[in-house]
Structure 1
Amino acid sequence: MLKRLLITGLTIAGALSFSIPAHAHAQQNVHTVQKGESLYKIANKYGISTQQLQAVNDKNSAMIYPGETLELPVMLDESEKDLLARLVEAEAKGESYAGKVAVATVVLNRIESDRFPDTLYNVIYDGIQFSPVLNGTINDPAGQESKRAVQEALNYQGFDRESLFFYNPGKASSDYLSNQEVTTVIGNHVFLR
C-alpha cells in the first residue's frame, strides 16, 4: 500500500514538473504546403482569408508549390484576445477606433518580429514597454470598441505598414524613437518602425 502511494505521488509530481507554463501559448505560425493544396484550402483550414494569407507572405499570385513554407498570421485564443483588448483599452483610451486598431497591430507585429518575444504575453509583459502594465490599468476590463479593434487588427495582418512602436509625443519623449521611421500618425499617437 505504501509503495503504491509513493509511486502514485512520484508520478503526479513528475507530470506536474513537465507541465507547460500558463502563458506559453504555442501557436503554429507556419504551414508547409502539401501536394494538392491551394491558398484557398490552406486559408480555410486556419480560418483566414486567401487575401490575408497572400499579404502575410508577400505573394502577388496564388501560385504555391509542395514543400513551400507559408507564414501564418498571429492567431490568438480568447484569453489572449482579452489581454490584448485590455492593453488597447488602457493604451488608447480616448483615441479613435483607428488608433485602437493601430495599437493592437503594433503588438501583433512585435510577436512576428525577431526584435521582440514571440508570444503575446511575453510581448506585453516585456520589461517597461507598456505603461498600463506598470500602472496596473491593464487589469481593467476592455470595452466593446477595444475588443472589435483587436479582431480587426487580427484580420488586418499583412496589410499594415509594419509599425513596431507608438508613443504620444505630448506625454513622452525618446531619443531612440526619434530615430525610427514614422509610418503614420493617428490622433495623439505616432507610429513607427
Structure 2
Amino acid sequence: MNLIRQNRWVALLIGVILVCFSAICLLLQIEEKQDIGKLYKPVVIKGTDIHRSNPLLMSVIENQESFHVLKDNQQLFMKQKEVATTSGKSTDSKKLTTEKVEQVNKSTEVNSRLNPPKALFFTRTQTLSQNEKDLSTWQYAVTDKELLLLRKIVMAEAEGEPYQGKVAVANVVLNRLRSANFPNTIYKVIYQKYQFSPVANGRFDRVQPNEDTIHAVNEALNGLKEVSDDTYYFLSLKLADDLTVHNTRTFSKRIGNHSFYK
C-alpha cells in the first residue's frame, strides 16, 4: 500500500489494465451471442419459432412439406378421376342412345311388317320383301278387296293351325300369283276351280279373319316366308279326300296338320 501511495502512476496503470480486461470480456460475450444467434436462426411456421438446429422439428417441417405435395397430388388425381368418370358417363350415354335408336328401328320394322303393303315385288322365281323391291322384275298392286280375300282364305284354311302355318298358306297363294302356271291375280288364284276346298264348300264366305290371321297375312305380304318360293300346294292328310298332290308332288315341309309340297 505504501508502494501504491508513493507511486500513484502504478495505481493508474493497474486501473487501466482492469478496464481493458473488462472491455475484452464484454466484447467476447457479445461475439458469442452473435455466433449463437447465427446457429439458432428461427424459422416461423404459422406463428411458431422453430430452430433449424433441432432435427426433430426439421423432420416435422419436411413431413409437412411432403403432406402438402401429397395433398396436391391427391387433388390432381381426384380431378383426373372426375374427368374420366364424366367421360365414361358420356360414353355410356352415347351407348344408351345408340341402343335406344336400334330398339326404335327394330320396333318400327316390326310395326311396318304388321301393316299391309300397297304393292308386291317379284322376280321370276322369288317373292321379294319391301326392302328388296329394287331387285324386282315386276310388281303387283294389292287392292283392299284382294287383301280381304287373302285374309279370308288363310282364315278358312288355317284357323286352327299355328301362326307359322297361317303364314305358309299365304305364302302358297303368293307363290301361285308369281308363277306363270297359275292365274295372275289374287282373286283368280283363290277362285280357281278345285284348288281351295273352303271356296267350294262355302266356308270361305262365312269366316271373319281374326287378329292372328291378319298379322300372318301382313307379314307374308311384307316378305316373311315359312315355306320356299317353289311351294305351291298344301293339304291335311287327315281331312283330304283327294291325295293326288301327296302322291305326285315333292314333299317340302310339315307345319301343324298341313303338309306342304313343291
Q: Normalising by structure 1, what TM-score?
A: 0.63
1:171 paired with 2:171, answer: no
User: How do 1:57-136 and structure 2 match up within 5 A?
Assistant: 70-72=136-138, 74-136=140-202
> Quick one: distance in 1 between partners of 2:151 and 2:256?
19
1:67 aligns with none
Q: Kindly provide the amino acid, as one letter, of the partner of residue 198 in structure 2.
A: P
Q: Deviations over 1:16-54 (max 9, x none)?
A: xxxxxxxxxxx88679xxxxxxxxxxx9xxx9213xx37
The answer to which structure, 1 or 2, has the higher relative contact order (CA under 8 A, 6+ apart) is 1
Residue 93 to residue 84, structure 1, CA distance change in 2 (3 Å):
same
SS in 2 for 1:49: helix
1:192 paired with 2:258, answer: no
Residue 90 to residue 159, structure 1, CA distance change in 2 (3 Å):
closer
* Aligned-residue RMSD, C-alpha: 2.7
1:48 paired with 2:116, answer: no
> Quick one: distance in 2 between partners of 1:147 and 1:74?
20
Identity among equivalent pairs (%)? 36
- If you compute each CA radius of gyration, which structure gives the higher value, 1 or 2? 2
Q: How far 1:133 moved relative to its partner?
A: 0.6
> Quick one: distance in 2 between partners of 1:131 and 1:169?
14
Q: How far 1:122 moved relative to its partner?
A: 0.4
Q: Deviations over 1:135-174 (max 9, x none)?
A: 1121221111111111111112688512100000111142
> Quick one: distance in 1 between partners of 2:244 and 2:260?
15
User: How do 1:12-27 and structure 2 match up within 5 A?
Assistant: none
Residue 28 to residue 102, structure 1, CA distance change in 2 (3 Å):
closer
> Quick one: distance in 2 between partners of 1:102 and 1:49?
20
> Quick one: distance in 2 between partners of 1:48 and 1:138?
29
2:28 aligns with none
> Quick one: distance in 2 between partners of 1:88 and 1:186?
14
Residue 48 to residue 129, structure 1, CA distance change in 2 (3 Å):
same
Q: How far 1:176 moved relative to its partner?
A: 3.7
Q: Is the 8 A contact 1:117 1:123 kept in 2?
A: yes
Higher helix share: 2
Residue 169 to residue 157, structure 1, CA distance change in 2 (3 Å):
same
> Quick one: distance in 1 between partners of 2:239 and 2:218?
28
User: How do 1:150-161 and structure 2 match up within 5 A?
Assistant: 150-156=217-223, 160-161=227-228
Q: Deviations over 1:84-133 (max 9, x none)?
A: 10111010011001000000110000001111101001000000211111
Q: How far 1:77 moved relative to its partner?
A: 2.1
